[in-house]
């Protein structure tokens, strides 16, 4: 199942070639035709890693599913810097207009991209984010409970030798 | 030969003005959006006090700024290029001068004076259960190309889970990061601190600091207004009115002084330089802005023009009345002397 826009473009190109009617201002995008056609491939919105040693930097990118993580993408839709800056911020840039276009074309965002979009408010919150938060609070509450019970037992053991 | 030199200077310098024009055009475009809603109602018959962007006000201020070609086109520090020489007829020379005047007018376009921007504190979502997941803020910027920077979505997710709109300083920083503007720095340079500004004023470089401020800050940011107010106060205190004269900052300075009712020094300076019509226009502007004052009422009763306006103002509302009247007397004596000299031979 080739991507729908590729089918449209092939139709356009063939019709133009047959009619010898290429007007000067129609721009035929041949790049997606020349890309490899993957069997069962689809477009994804994912993070492509860049940067240097001990300094990651992600680009949010629309690419074919079967392509390598960092290789040729269809379009760059933004960036994500995982290391906080001077003002203690992680900077995320998102080209919402183009993201809307690619999602309308049927692109699948990956988990980290979906999490980022949920945190930004563009998507509803990703369920794992909520689950993680709940689990964290549970562990914190358990630790507190443990700590309280330990203190209680310590006090009890301290008071016993005093009284005894 | 002198004509050659002048044309050479004019032609060389008019080719260098692109940067300055672009900046002023961009600043004007940014301001036009905020002003567009108000501009429809900006006739004085509306009962509101006149704004900086009114046609009448702008006309007065442009007239006062003057058009000293030598000062407008004085050498700016730029790349050294050998000058181009052209052989012209008189008609062509006149044409070239006209073009240069047009270009100078563009250069003298006043940067807008806007009221201070209101703080943004809009909370879009409060998700308290997300607290503790992160120790850092996430800043989400929309990098869609075709939207104006004022309407861009810049949103921050705090570590305690609240999703809020970014403050103006954060907005400026993000926009400069993703859409960098030439000459603007991410953090404002330390020249704009109080102590360093004093040093700049001692060196008489008010224009340069105002140009820097225009490039670095947005016209309605508090920093922009603070720097401009300090500069105008310093000019007023030391009477250095010829520094911004014939530059684009003169209108803004006059507007600030008229609003603060501190036009005495300016008037004295103008009378001493025999610019009586300009002094009269300044007082006309003053009456437009403060129509309840005693000077305005008297002037309205007597329908005064020119030097009479100045005299009425000196009598009624001026703080340095003595100085103004002295200057007026000196001017009248010199003008009578001159007319006597010209009529005698």
pLDDT number for residue A9: 59
pLDDT at A5: 64
Pairing relationship of beta strands A43-52 and A108-109 according to DSSP bridges: parallel
Q: What is the pLDDT of residues B284-334, one digit of tens each?
A: 888 888 777 777 777 777 776 777 777 777 777 777 778 888 888 888 888
The answer to whether residue B199 scores a pLDDT higher than 50 is yes
Would you say residue A59 has pLDDT above 90?
yes
Contact A42, A106 (CB under 8 A): yes
- Establish if A111 touches chain B: CB-CB under 8 angstroms: no
pLDDT surpassing 50 at residue B184: yes
Q: Which two tokens stand for residue A49?
A: 């890693």
> In this predicted model, which residue has the larger pLDDT, B290 or B88?
B88
Q: Are strands A89-94 and A75-80 parallel, antiparallel or unpaired?
A: antiparallel
H/E segment holding residue A44: strand A43-52
**Chain B residues with CB inside 8 Å of A116's CB?**
138, 140
- B133 in A contact zone (CB under 8 Å): yes
Q: Residue B26 — pLDDT band, cuts 50, 70, 90?
A: very low
How confident is the model at residue B13, as a pLDDT? 53
ipTM beyond cut 0.90: no
Residue A78 has pLDDT above 50, yes or no: yes
Strand A89-94 to B137-142 pairing: parallel
Q: What is the mean pLDDT of the segment spanning B48-62?
A: 76
Confidence of residue B335 (pLDDT cuts 50, 70, 90): confident
- With a pLDDT cut of 90, the percent of chain B lying above it is 15
Q: Which chain A residues are Cβ-neighbours of B178 within 8 angstroms?
A: 93
pLDDT of A4 reads: 62
DSSP B156: E
In this prediction, residue B108 has a pLDDT band, given cuts at 50, 70 and 90, of: confident
Q: Does A72 touch chain B (CB under 8 A)?
A: no
Interface contact B133-A98, CB threshold 8 A: no
Which residues, including other chains, have CB under 8 Å from residue A91's CB and lie 6 or more apart?
Answer: A79, A80, A81, A85, B139, B141, B174, B177
Task: Write down the pLDDT at residue A108.
Answer: 92
Q: What angle do CA B185, A116, A106 make, to 5 degrees?
A: 115
- Digit-coded pLDDT (tens) for B3-18: 556 556 555 555 554 4
How crowded is the C-beta side of B234, counted as CA atoms within 13 Å?
22
Q: A-B interface: how many C-beta pairs under 8 angstroms? A: 76
Please give the pLDDT value at position B75. 63
- Percentage of chain A with pLDDT > 70? 74
Q: Is the pTM of this model over 0.80?
A: no
Strand pairing category for A75-80 and A55-64: antiparallel
The closest alpha carbon to B76, from B197, B204, B208, B192, belongs to B208
Distance from CA of A89 to the nearest CA of B (A): 5
Least CB–CB distance from B129: residue in A91, A95, A134:
A134
Q: In this predicted model, what pLDDT tens digit does every residue of A124-134 receive, in sequence order? A: 999 999 999 99
Contacts with A89 from chain B: Cβ below 8 Å:
136-139, 156
DSSP-assigned letters across all residues of B237-297: HHT-TTSSTTSTTHHHHHHHHHHHT--HHHHHHHHHTT-HHHHHHHHHHHHHH-TTSHHHH
User: How far B9 CA lies from chain A's nearest CA (Å)?
Assistant: 44
Q: Cβ separation of B174 and A97 shorter than 8 Å?
A: no
**What is the least distance, in Å, from the CA of B196 to any CA of chain A?**
25
Do B139 and A89 lie within an 8 Å CB cutoff? Answer: yes
Calpha distance B345→B328 (Å, rounded): 27
* CB-side neighbour CA atoms (13 Å) of A45: 27
Residues of B in contact with A119 (CB under 8 A): 138, 140, 157, 163
CB < 8 Å to B146, chain A: 97
pLDDT in tens, A7-50: 665 565 555 554 444 444 455 555 455 556 677 789 999 999 99
Instruction: Please check whether residue B143 is in contact with residue A95, taking contact to mean a CB–CB distance below 8 angstroms.
Output: yes
Q: Which of A144-153, B76-85, B96-105 has the lowest mean pLDDT?
A: B76-85
Contact A133 B133 (CB under 8 A): yes
- List the single best residue of B125, B133, B137, B140 to mutate versus A (max A Cβ within 10 A): B140
Inter-chain residue contact B141 with A125, CB threshold 8 Å: no
CB B280 within 8 A of CB B310: yes
A90 contacts on B by Cβ (under 8 Å): 136-139
Tell me the average pLDDT across A53-73. 93
Cross-chain Cβ contact A91/B125 below 8 Å: no
Answer whether residue A58 shows pLDDT above 90: yes
Please state, in angstroms and as integers, the Cα–Cα distance from residue B233 to each residue in A10, B108, B285, following that order.
Answer: 69, 22, 19
Mean pLDDT of B267-279: 81
Structure confidence by residue, pLDDT tens digits, B134-175:
889 999 999 999 899 989 999 999 998 899 999 999 999 999
Identify any residues that bridge with A50 across adjacent strands, giving them in sequence order: A57
Separation CA A16–CA A29 (nearest Å) = 13
> What pLDDT, on a 0 to 100 scale, did the predictor assign at position A109?
94
CA distance B246 to B242: 8
Q: Which residues of chain B are within 8 Å of residue A141 when distances are taken between CB atoms?
A: none
- Tell me what pLDDT residue B113 has: 80
- What is the nearest CA distance from B133 to chain A, expressed in angstroms? 6
B31: alpha, beta or left? (left if phi > 0; alpha if psi -120 to 50): alpha
The DSSP element (H or E) to which B154 belongs, if any, is strand B154-157
Helix-helix angle B90-107:B18-39, to 10 degrees = 60
Q: Looking at the DSSP assignment, which residues form a beta bridge with residue B155?
A: B140, B165
More confident site: B60 or B228: B228
Q: In whole numbers, what is the pLDDT of chain B averaged over residues?
A: 78
DSSP state of B41: T
Look up residue A23 and give its two tokens: 């007007």
**Confidence band (pLDDT; 50, 70, 90) for A70?**
very high
C-alpha to C-alpha distances, B328 to B132, B306, B310, B311, B321, nearest whole angstrom: 73, 12, 8, 8, 11
Compare all CA atoms of chain A with the CA of B161 and give the residue at the minimum distance.
Answer: A119
| Interatomic CA distance for residues B231 and B206, integer angstroms | 7
Taking alpha carbons only, the member of B69, B93, B104 closest to residue B7 is: B93
pLDDT band at B94 (very low <50, low <70, confident <90, very high): very high
Show the tokens assigned to A62: 């629309």
């Amino acid at each position: 199942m080739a991507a729908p826009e590729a089918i449209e473009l092939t139709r356009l190109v063939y019709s133009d070639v047959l009619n010898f009617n290429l007007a000067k201002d129609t721009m035929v995008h041949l790049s997606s035709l020349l890309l490899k056609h993957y069997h069962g491939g689809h477009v994804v919105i994912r993070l492509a890693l860049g940067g240097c040693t001990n300094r990651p930097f992600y680009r949010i990118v629309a690419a074919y599913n079967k392509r390598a993580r960092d290789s040729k993408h269809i379009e760059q839709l933004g960036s994500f810097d995982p290391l906080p800056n001077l003002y203690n911020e992680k900077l995320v840039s998102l080209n919402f207009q183009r993201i809307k276009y690619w999602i309308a074309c049927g692109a699948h965002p990956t988990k980290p991209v979906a999490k980022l979009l949920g945190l930004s408010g563009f998507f509803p919150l990703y369920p794992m984010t909520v689950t993680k938060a709940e689990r964290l609070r549970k562990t914190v509450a358990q630790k507190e409970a443990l700590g309280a019970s330990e203190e209680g037992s310590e006090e009890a053991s301290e008071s016993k030798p005093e009284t005894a | 030969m002198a004509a050659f030199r002048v044309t050479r200077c004019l032609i060389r310098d008019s080719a260098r003005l692109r940067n300055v024009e672009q900046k002023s055009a961009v600043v004007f475009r940014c301001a036009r959006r905020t002003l567009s809603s108000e501009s429809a109602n900006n006739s004085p018959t509306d009962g509101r006090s006149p704004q900086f962007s009114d046609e009448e006000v702008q006309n007065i201020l442009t007239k006062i700024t003057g058009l000293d070609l030598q000062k407008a086109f004085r050498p700016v520090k730029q790349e050294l290029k050998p000058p181009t020489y052209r052989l012209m007829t008189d008609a062509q020379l006149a044409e070239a001068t006209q073009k240069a005047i047009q270009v100078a007018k563009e250069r003298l376009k006043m940067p807008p004076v806007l009221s201070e921007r209101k703080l943004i504190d809009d909370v879009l979502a409060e998700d308290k259960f997300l607290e503790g997941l992160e120790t850092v803020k996430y800043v989400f910027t929309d990098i869609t190309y075709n939207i104006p920077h004022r309407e861009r979505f810049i949103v921050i997710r705090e570590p305690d889970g609240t999703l809020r709109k970014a403050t103006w300083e954060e907005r400026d920083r993000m926009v400069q990061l993703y859409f960098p503007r030439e000459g603007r720095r991410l953090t404002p340079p330390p020249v704009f601190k109080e102590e360093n500004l004093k040093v700049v004023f001692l060196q008489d470089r008010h224009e340069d600091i105002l140009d820097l401020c225009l490039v670095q800050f947005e016209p309605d940011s508090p920093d922009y207004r603070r720097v401009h107010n300090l500069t105008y106060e310093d000019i007023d205190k030391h009477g250095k009115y010829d520094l911004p004269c014939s530059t684009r900052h003169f209108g803004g300075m006059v507007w600030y002084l008229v609003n603060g009712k501190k036009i005495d020094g300016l008037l004295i300076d103008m009378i001493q330089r025999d610019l009586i019509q300009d002094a009269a226009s300044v007082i006309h502007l003053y009456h437009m802005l403060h129509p309840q004052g005693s000077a305005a009422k008297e002037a309205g009763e007597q329908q005064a023009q020119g030097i009479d306006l100045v005299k009425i103002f000196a009598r009624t509302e001026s703080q340095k009345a003595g100085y103004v009247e002295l200057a007026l007397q000196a001017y009248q004596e010199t003008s009578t002397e001159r007319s006597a000299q010209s009529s005698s031979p």
